[in-house]
Amino acid sequence: MPKLTIDEKTVEVPVGKRLAQAIEDAGVNIGHRCGGYAKCTTCRVEFVEGEPDVMTKAEYERLTNRDLFGEVRLSCQIECDRDMSVKPLITLENEPSWQDTGPELEETVTPEAEWFPIDMLTDE
């Protein structure tokens, strides 16, 4: 099983699990305010290691639209398929106006994933 490191904590994650869900299941209250549909960007993470080399169309469109492409990744749009080390950037603890992290995530990437190799994508 792939290993997921979040700050100093490492857990094992079933292959294919959504990264946002894996982070939450590891006890980190990461945001997912749109329910995992690549709309809110509150599930954003910084990759330390193991960044996937593919991206969903929905993630690409949202990141370029918010000028975030190349800066962060949306953990709701990523499947755990390798060892990864990430830093969650928006959590319940640093968003005092939130009552919760957001609606429950569906098991698979939503909207239905259309994957592209990252090296084919640009920030334009």
Among 55, 76, 84, 90, binds ligand FES (CB under 6 A): 76
Q: How far is the CB of 56 from ligand FES (least distance, A)?
A: 10
CA distance 14 to 1: 6
**Interface with ligand FES by CB under 6 A: which range of 6-14, 31-39, 78-86, 108-116?**
31-39
The conformational region for residue 7 under phi > 0 = left, psi -120 to 50 = alpha, else beta, is left
CA distance 3 to 41: 24
How many CA atoms does the CB half-sphere of 53 hold within 13 Å?
3
55 interacts with ligand FES by CB under 6 A:
no
For the chain, the 3-state helix, strand and coil shares in percent, each to the nearest 5, are: 20, 25, 55
57 interacts with ligand FES by CB under 6 A:
no
**Closer of 13 and 38 to ligand FES (Cβ):** 38
CA distance 114 to 99: 32
Q: How far is the CB of 39 from ligand FES (least distance, A)?
A: 5
Q: How far is the CB of 90 from ligand FES (least distance, A)?
A: 10
90 interacts with ligand FES by CB under 6 A:
no
Which residues lie near ligand FES (CB under 6 A)?
A: 32-34, 36, 38-43, 74, 76
